[in-house]
Amino acid sequence: MSVIKAFLFAVLLLIASPGKGADADAFCETPLNIRVSSDYLPFSFKDTSGEFRGIDVVLIQELFSEIDCEINLVAMPFKRAIIELAAGHIDMMPFASITKKRKSFAHFSSPYRYETAGLIVRTEDLQRLKINSLQDVIDNNLVLGHEQSAYRGGDFEAFLADPVSRPHIYNVVTTTEGIRMLETYRIDALVESPAAILAAAEEMGLGSRFAEHPFTLISDPVHFMFSSKSVSQELVDALDLALARKISSTAYQTSYGSMALPRADGPAMD
């Protein structure tokens, strides 16, 4: 049994009491401020009426309803959100990887889905760009668009830390900015989740312009990250129980498809 499956099965065995929101007031006395993206399809985006939508948004809303906590969804750039969460000014942000630095100011939930990060390129360049390592980016004098403070694996972190990489990185603030930079030939590739970029490009009428490059940086589970200054471990534990139930539901498995975590042993729970 995998580590994730073993964890989920153990958690499900603990779900014995019917009081899903027991003592909720003790750890969420006021609405929690949760950072989401306004252009990270299909996970989180604003529709034409200004409402937040997306499969991550739906999951977040359902989980916090399950533990009887009110939430406010707040859009802000990823880098700023990290700073605000560390200071306790926002309480949670989704799709976060665990790093040593982040553990100094944050609690993390158990995993809630997989995320793959790699390179998105212009369709016309897919066969031309022979990239098998980050050294090839330097050797071919390429420029990568990257959302500052987003974690894309240990190899990419080491690449960013090397001064040699600086001419080869352009920091973008939003998904839309990155797509426009790639479309107008100001960068050669975007470092991102291919699913998110291709969905956003399709929404912008640019779906045929881009393709996923086979070079992958990371494919790992991601977590909800909570400010340790404003959120208790008890709240995180309560959310983990609700999350374990949700992962074993058919609705979750259908929504996330290949990005879904494996359900715990046993039948679907709906």
Total-model pTM:
0.78
Same domain, residue pair 141 and 208: yes
178 neighbors 190 (Cβ within 8 angstroms) = yes
Work out the burial of residue 120: count CB atoms within 10 Å of its CB; fewer than 13 is exposed, 13-18 middle, 19 or more buried: buried
User: Could you tell me which of 123, 146, 52 has the C-alpha nearest to residue 94?
Assistant: 52
Helix axes 175-183, 194-203, angle to 10 degrees: 80
Structure tokens at 137: 């980016």
In a domain, 264, yes or no: no
Residue 164 sits in the same domain as residue 209: yes
One domain, residues 183 and 127: yes
Over residues 208-262, the pLDDT tens digits come to 999 999 999 998 999 999 999 999 999 999 999 999 999 999 999 999 988 999 9
Domain housing 122:
115-219
Asked if the model's pLDDT at residue 143 lies above 90, the reply is: yes
Give a yes or no: residue 180 inside a domain. Answer: yes
237 shares a domain with 107: yes
| Count of structural domains, the chain | 2
Instruction: Tell me whether residue 29 is in a domain.
Output: yes
Q: Would residue 265 count as lying in a domain? A: no
The domain that contains 39 carries what CATH number? 3.40.190.10
pLDDT at residue 270, rounded to an integer: 54
Pair 146, 177 in one domain:
yes
pLDDT at 3: 46
Residue 268 lies in a domain: no
Q: Would residue 266 count as lying in a domain? A: no
Q: Are residues 204 and 236 in the same domain?
A: no
Q: Are 133 and 103 in a shared domain? A: no
Query: What pLDDT score does 17 carry?
Result: 39
The mean pLDDT value of the chain amounts to 89
User: Can you read off the two tokens belonging to residue 134?
Assistant: 């980050």
* Sequential DSSP letters for 146-176: EETT----HHHHHHHHSGGGGGGEEEESSHH
| pLDDT above 70 for 81 | yes
Pair (166, 187) in one structural domain:
yes
Residues 13 and 105 in one domain: yes
